[in-house]
Amino acid sequence: MFKMVLVMCILANGVPECTTYYEDTKQTYPTLELCDQAAEAKFNEMTSTFIQNDIPFESMVIGCETV
């Protein structure tokens, strides 16, 4: 089983500050492939929303880890 994980970094006074987030739905995926597909969709959704709403971020990485 796999779960999605997000690491987001923002600049605070010129220094990147990174935070790890986990899906609040607690959803798990039976295979890494299914989790990776969901992570890619989530990445596209989030980056589009952040860009459209002019929300600054330094970097965003969404992936999967074993439960």
Q: Which helix (H) or strand (E) holds 22?
A: strand 15-22
The CA angle 61-44-31, to the nearest 5 degrees, is: 70
What 3-state DSSP class applies to 55?
coil
Over residues 1-30, mean pLDDT: 91
Residue 15 confidence class, pLDDT cut points 50, 70, 90: confident
Q: Of 13, 24, 11, which is closest to residue 3 (Cα–Cα)? A: 24
Predicted confidence (pLDDT) per residue in 21-64, tens digit = 998 888 999 999 999 999 999 999 999 999 999 888 889 999 99
Q: Can you give the length of the chain in residues? A: 67
